[in-house]
Structure 1
Amino acid sequence: MKYIQLHKSPLFLKIIFVISVAIIFFIGGITFKHITVLKKSSAFVSNSHEVNAELERLISYIKDAETGQRGYLLSNDKTFLTPYHNSKGLVRKSFKRVSRLTAHSRTQQSNLKKLLYFINKRQNYLSKSLYMIEQGKYDQNILKNNLIIGKQTMDSIRYKVEDMMITQQKLLKNRQKEYELTMNYTPLLIYLTLITTLILITIAFIKMNRDLVLLKITINTLSVANEASNLAEIVGGFGSWQLNFETNTYTFSDNEYRLLGCEPQSFVASLEAYLNFIHPEDLEYVIENTKSILTDNDLAPFTYRIIRKDGEIRHFRTLGRTVTIASGDKTFIGTTSDVTEEVYAQKFIEDRNRELESNNKELTAFNYIASHDLQEPLRKIETFLSRLVSKDYDNLSKAGQQYVSSIQSSANRMRILIQDLLQFSRTNKAEKVFEEADLNSLLENSKQELAQIIEEKKAVIENNELPILNVIPFQIQQLFTNLISNSLKYSKEDATPIIKINCSTIVANEEEILPNNNTKYHKITVADNGIGFEQEYAKKIFILFNRLHNKNEYEGTGIGLAICKKIVENHKGFIFAKGTANEGATFTIYLPA
């Protein structure tokens, strides 16, 4: 399973975002709860103060009634009864307010019931006492007893009011404890959650900042790559296009338009628009090939003709394949190359090949003529000359004898020329069958082949141990024969010909005249002490029919060294010549090891 690092995944930012939002909501909830508790606590404090104030007001109204009655009793002035009469309504309102303010407290409601009992009792005794005085007939003991009971009831009212105030104070303290308890852990929790949120947001910011830097680098890289791609398309003469399988929409590169002879993005990219440029004769062929885009992953390359906007006919080659991009969508990417020059070059090559085949047939016919038809009359000429010399040579005049000698010499040169041409032709046309061969044996065969001339010139041929190589045996033997024959032909008349053949293994970069690489070669040198040549002719001597000396000075056709060069080239090697006039020549051969 492919391991995906979470902190490098886009999912990481989403998780942080969700957690941060959840924490913010959590902090908001705690804050709301705290404010609600604070509001309730504040409301309860206010309620407690209002209850206490209203209880004090309630007892004050009762006291006013009591004071008014006492003033009336002392002065018999009814104006003192005004507070008494007003107190009933005021006491009723104040009691209802206290009852409403303590509606959520069962204890206070219970206390209110008892308080109401004492208030009613006190008001009843006040009324009795006042009635007895107004009637003028009363018993002092009864009045005194009523006043004493009224006083006791008033004391009970005070005690009950105080009790209610104390109870309200206790309730307030309990609420304050709850508030303080809530306030003790709430700031810490809010602080911790805020710290956590800040850490998560900081991590997200760092990640986003890194992603933005990476995105900027990526955008810059893509911009450079896109421009490089556009430049490569212009230089390379090709365009690119894409097909989005999800949306079934095409996209053409700028150079795709240029290949069609249009301005970049001058029309909406689509298959239908592109088909309008296809040559009518190739239209069905193109449609048939493009059908495979929807079923195959690859579009095999195929070539067709288009008609550019300016009317010029060009040859295009298209290929492509399906790729899956990062989003998971499949996209088909294709390239279109202008291969007009390649098509024309291929046609030119095919025409040239046909010409070469025709020329080869002519050369084959020439070889046949050279090997049969030309040699046949030459043999007859040599035969009749031989008979003329053996029978009638003495009867000829001196001029006639000279003519016969010239004819014999010319016929001999013609025979040698035909043989050399056939040999060169076989070197070019023979099957190149490589096999392991001992170069020492091939050299010995060449010596045996040239034994007569070696013996005539008393030549000395020296060589060190030669390797066993994978070669065309008869061609390597021909190479040795031609080089030794060349050295013998151009030997000095007053010196014994000495030919030294040596072999060593070298690396190409050790030799200035070879390519600079690490390929190993067998270096074979054939050096002689003959007449040599000027170094300026070192390359010319390998050219067919090229001669450095007059044919009357030295025999030869100028084909032998050309054959040597062709043999070495057949073996993927190199041959070079180095000469010094009147000192000798050295031929160096490099054959791949």
Structure 2
Amino acid sequence: MITRIKKKSPLFIKISFYIALLIIVVAGAIAFKTTKNLSKSSELVVETYMVNVQLEQIFSYLKDAETGQRGFIITNDSMYLEPYVKSRESINNSFAELKELTKENDFQQNNLKDLSSLIDKRLNNFERSSSFSVNDNLESPKFDPVFFEGKELMDAIRNKISEMIEHERVELLRRQEDYQTDVLLTPIFLFFLILFSIALVLLAYYKITKDIESLKSYNEELETFKESANQSEIISKHGNWIWDIEEETYIYSDNLYRLLGEQPQSFIPNLDTFMTYVHPDDREKLEKDVAAMMENEHLPFVHFRVIQKSGNIKRLKSYAQVLELDGVRKLIGTTSDVTDEFESFRLLEERNAELERNNKELSAFNHVASHDLQEPLRKIQTFLSRLVDKESDNLSKNGQVYISRIQNAASRMRLLIDDLLQFSRTNKSEKVFETANINLILEGAKQDLAEAISDSNALITSDTFPVMYVIPFQIQQLFSNLISNSIKYQKGDSIPEISIKYNRINAIEEDKLVKPKKEHYHKLTFTDNGIGFKNEYAEKIFVLFNRLHGKSDFSGTGIGLSICKKIVENHKGYIFANGTPDKGATFEVYLPI
């Protein structure tokens, strides 16, 4: 979200600013154009007025000349010719003004040429008419045509002037319409343009206000995150540093100073000062690593020691990689205090060595149990057998009882030693997994228990199993122990019935499987019709040497089911027991696929 504020909001504000600026420029240009058009329209109106005035004046000058001519003809007084003489000069001045005013109007320029020709003819007519009066020849038949010709020329001039004035009037109306359109539309357009500009500015202001509020919120979050990061550095015992590749400057976090045994920001961060804290034995190697870092712009994991002012030696680990931000390349690094890890690793090595010694001692114990303990036990059993065979008749009844008890104890001792050796081999044996035919393994277990199965007339039914990736001899031991357990704990004289079912299950569908590591499992279900047990003992029966019945009731050492549990654990599986007194027991084995 912070990225969105930094990128999208300024872009929107910039666009709004540029649009508002463009609107102001356009409004100014329109206002300038409108003002210019208004000025031009005003000039054109004045020009039209001046053209009309000049045309009216020309016609007025001609009428004055005509009036003077008539007075001269009637009275033959030269005083009446004065308006005629002045009119020529005035007409010429008006014509010069008209040509200047209509220089951009070709139509009026052509009209001026026609009007000039008519006026010249009319003035020439004045001279010819006046000549009849000077010569006192008004009664001449030629006078009338000349006189009436003057009237026709004046009518023509009047029509031409009227035509030109009408043209100017039409042009004036057209210009007024254009002027009115500009006057009407321009303010409306400018109004909406300015309104849009104001709305855009208000929207930008609103956006800036919201962004400022958001930035305040994000700054608070950043401050919180910064403080959290500082606390995290202290707890996790690491510090951060930044090397500006271009500027050759460093930035250290507060906790990096603490790792060196100094107060935060107590010295200017630089490489030379940092090297003074490095252990002398590690300084040369670290300098080479730093030189390679500057050359390759990358620092792989390096380990070194530092000596704090207090004299404490700390083991540190550093790593860094290049990060490019806005075109600026920086090396972002992390330095961690691994002193505790090193001590833990050293302690782990010591414990591993101790464990290895214990394993060797256990192996020695196995050797003793398998050889040294069994040898005197075999001798005891051998001499007891000879004593019974040869001296049984010489023994008293109490002696015979004692001999019988010694034999039973020796047999239990042998069974216990054998089970202990089996449990030990389950823990220590090489866990070689291979793809095995479980059906053949089950048959092997039956062969191992052939005598017990035959003696008890046990009925064993089983599904067909797929091949599995297992430790074959351990799975055979698992089958043997569970089947033997069902035969051993049968009810009175009843025939043991043992069922072995197979299912392929999905781990998430089995509530019993807590945090399964595999998605699917082989499920083997062993069910018998024996004496069963209370479910409160469902977990205790897997504990080493734990027995639910007395030695006189059922033989055994309490190790068999512990071996089963260990075998299943070796396969990363699960085993569960469920019993009902006098009805039987069920064992469920889950082996990962």
Place the TM-score, normalised by the shorter chain, in its bin: 0.5 to 0.7
- How is 1:395-544 mapped onto 2 (pairs within 5 angstroms)? 395-515=394-514, 519-544=519-544
User: 1:424, 1:559 within 8 Å by CA — same for their partners in 2?
Assistant: yes
User: 1:290, 1:299 within 8 Å by CA — same for their partners in 2?
Assistant: yes
User: 1:30, 1:186 within 8 Å by CA — same for their partners in 2?
Assistant: no
Show the counterpart of 1:253: 253
Opposite residue 363 of structure 2, the aligned amino acid is T
SS in 2 for 1:483: helix
Opposite residue 224 of structure 2, the aligned amino acid is E
Opposite residue 592 of structure 2, the aligned amino acid is P
Residues 45-75 of structure 1 deviation map (CA, whole Å, 9 limit, x = unaligned): 9xx9xxxxxxxxxxxxxxxxxxxxxxxxxxx
Tell me, in whole angstroms, the C-alpha distance in 2 between the residues paired with 1:300 and 1:10.
44
User: 1:579, 1:585 within 8 Å by CA — same for their partners in 2?
Assistant: yes
User: 2:17, 2:201 within 8 Å by CA — same for their partners in 1?
Assistant: no
SS in 2 for 1:585: strand
Residue 400 of structure 1, CA deviation = 4.6
User: 1:323, 1:330 within 8 Å by CA — same for their partners in 2?
Assistant: yes
- How is 1:158-557 mapped onto 2 (pairs within 5 angstroms)? 167=96, 171=100, 217=214, 220-221=217-218, 224=221, 227-228=224-225, 230-232=227-229, 234-235=231-232, 237=236, 238-260=238-260, 264-307=264-307, 312-325=312-325, 327-515=326-514, 519-557=519-557
Tell me, in whole angstroms, the C-alpha distance in 1 between the residues paired with 2:577 and 2:513.
14
SS in 2 for 1:295: helix
Tell me, in whole angstroms, the C-alpha distance in 2 between the residues paired with 1:422 and 1:437.
25
Tell me, in whole angstroms, the C-alpha distance in 1 between the residues paired with 2:39 and 2:292.
71
Tell me, in whole angstroms, the C-alpha distance in 2 between the residues paired with 1:21 and 1:335.
53
User: 1:240, 1:336 within 8 Å by CA — same for their partners in 2?
Assistant: yes
SS in 2 for 1:315: strand
SS in 1 for 2:359: helix
Show the counterpart of 2:585: 585
Tell me, in whole angstroms, the C-alpha distance in 2 between the residues paired with 1:384 and 1:294.
84
Tell me, in whole angstroms, the C-alpha distance in 1 between the residues paired with 2:334 and 2:359.
41
Tell me, in whole angstroms, the C-alpha distance in 2 between the residues paired with 1:422 and 1:385.
24
Residues 382-408 of structure 1 deviation map (CA, whole Å, 9 limit, x = unaligned): 334334433444444555544443443
SS in 1 for 2:224: helix
Query: Identity of counterpart residues, as a percentage?
Result: 43
Which ranges in structure 2 are unaligned for 5 or more consecutive residues? Answer: 1-6, 51-77, 106-167, 169-173
User: 1:16, 1:201 within 8 Å by CA — same for their partners in 2?
Assistant: no
Q: 1:349 to 1:498 in 2, by over 3 A?
A: same
Opposite residue 341 of structure 2, the aligned amino acid is E
User: 1:20, 1:201 within 8 Å by CA — same for their partners in 2?
Assistant: no
Residues 203-233 of structure 1 deviation map (CA, whole Å, 9 limit, x = unaligned): 7997897688668757754763563354145
Tell me, in whole angstroms, the C-alpha distance in 2 between the residues paired with 1:286 and 1:588.
58
User: 1:230, 1:255 within 8 Å by CA — same for their partners in 2?
Assistant: no
Opposite residue 355 of structure 1, the aligned amino acid is E
Residue 324 of structure 1, CA deviation = 1.2
Residues 279-303 of structure 1 deviation map (CA, whole Å, 9 limit, x = unaligned): 4443334333333332334321233
SS in 1 for 2:468: strand
Residue 275 of structure 1, CA deviation = 3.7
Residue 483 of structure 1, CA deviation = 1.0
Residue 487 of structure 1, CA deviation = 1.9
Q: 1:277 to 1:406 in 2, by over 3 A?
A: same
User: 2:20, 2:200 within 8 Å by CA — same for their partners in 1?
Assistant: no
Opposite residue 224 of structure 1, the aligned amino acid is E
Residue 242 of structure 1, CA deviation = 1.6
User: 2:319, 2:334 within 8 Å by CA — same for their partners in 1?
Assistant: yes
Residue 307 of structure 1, CA deviation = 4.5
- How is 1:7-86 mapped onto 2 (pairs within 5 angstroms)? none
User: 1:538, 1:576 within 8 Å by CA — same for their partners in 2?
Assistant: yes
User: 1:23, 1:197 within 8 Å by CA — same for their partners in 2?
Assistant: no
User: 2:434, 2:469 within 8 Å by CA — same for their partners in 1?
Assistant: yes
User: 1:297, 1:322 within 8 Å by CA — same for their partners in 2?
Assistant: yes
Greater alpha carbon shift after TM alignment, 192-201 vs 362-371: 192-201
Residues 1-29 of structure 1 deviation map (CA, whole Å, 9 limit, x = unaligned): xxx99x96999799879978987998899
Residue 508 of structure 1, CA deviation = 3.0
Residues 136-162 of structure 1 deviation map (CA, whole Å, 9 limit, x = unaligned): xxxxxxxxxxxx9xxx99999997688
Q: 1:159 to 1:256 in 2, by over 3 A?
A: farther
User: 1:544, 1:562 within 8 Å by CA — same for their partners in 2?
Assistant: yes
Show the counterpart of 2:118: none
Residues 474-513 of structure 1 deviation map (CA, whole Å, 9 limit, x = unaligned): 1111101001111222223343323232233333343332
Opposite residue 565 of structure 1, the aligned amino acid is K
SS in 2 for 1:496: coil
Residues 520-571 of structure 1 deviation map (CA, whole Å, 9 limit, x = unaligned): 3333222223333333322222122222333344322221111100111111
User: 1:527, 1:585 within 8 Å by CA — same for their partners in 2?
Assistant: yes
Tell me, in whole angstroms, the C-alpha distance in 2 between the residues paired with 1:277 and 1:27.
73
Opposite residue 231 of structure 1, the aligned amino acid is S
Tell me, in whole angstroms, the C-alpha distance in 1 between the residues paired with 2:246 and 2:208.
28
SS in 2 for 1:466: coil
Tell me, in whole angstroms, the C-alpha distance in 2 between the residues paired with 1:307 and 1:405.
75
User: 1:509, 1:515 within 8 Å by CA — same for their partners in 2?
Assistant: no
Q: 1:192 to 1:316 in 2, by over 3 A?
A: farther
Note the aligned Cα RMSD (angstroms).
Answer: 4.8
Q: 1:165 to 1:263 in 2, by over 3 A?
A: farther
SS in 2 for 1:331: strand
Opposite residue 251 of structure 2, the aligned amino acid is T
User: 1:535, 1:578 within 8 Å by CA — same for their partners in 2?
Assistant: yes
Q: 1:261 to 1:200 in 2, by over 3 A?
A: farther
Tell me, in whole angstroms, the C-alpha distance in 1 between the residues paired with 2:590 and 2:437.
16
Q: 1:18 to 1:315 in 2, by over 3 A?
A: farther
Opposite residue 221 of structure 2, the aligned amino acid is V
Tell me, in whole angstroms, the C-alpha distance in 2 between the residues paired with 1:335 and 1:445.
60
Residues 288-340 of structure 1 deviation map (CA, whole Å, 9 limit, x = unaligned): 33333323343212333344566654433221210111x21111111233333
Q: 1:12 to 1:274 in 2, by over 3 A?
A: farther
Greater alpha carbon shift after TM alignment, 340-349 vs 26-35: 26-35
Match status 1:559 vs 2:559: yes
Greater alpha carbon shift after TM alignment, 475-484 vs 406-415: 406-415
Query: What count of residue pairs does the alignment treat as equivalent?
Result: 484
Q: 1:577 to 1:273 in 2, by over 3 A?
A: same
Tell me, in whole angstroms, the C-alpha distance in 2 between the residues paired with 1:156 and 1:256.
113
SS in 1 for 2:301: strand
User: 2:487, 2:496 within 8 Å by CA — same for their partners in 1?
Assistant: yes
Q: What TM-score do the two structures reach when normalised by structure 1?
A: 0.66
Tell me, in whole angstroms, the C-alpha distance in 1 between the residues paired with 2:308 and 2:378.
67
Q: 1:15 to 1:284 in 2, by over 3 A?
A: farther
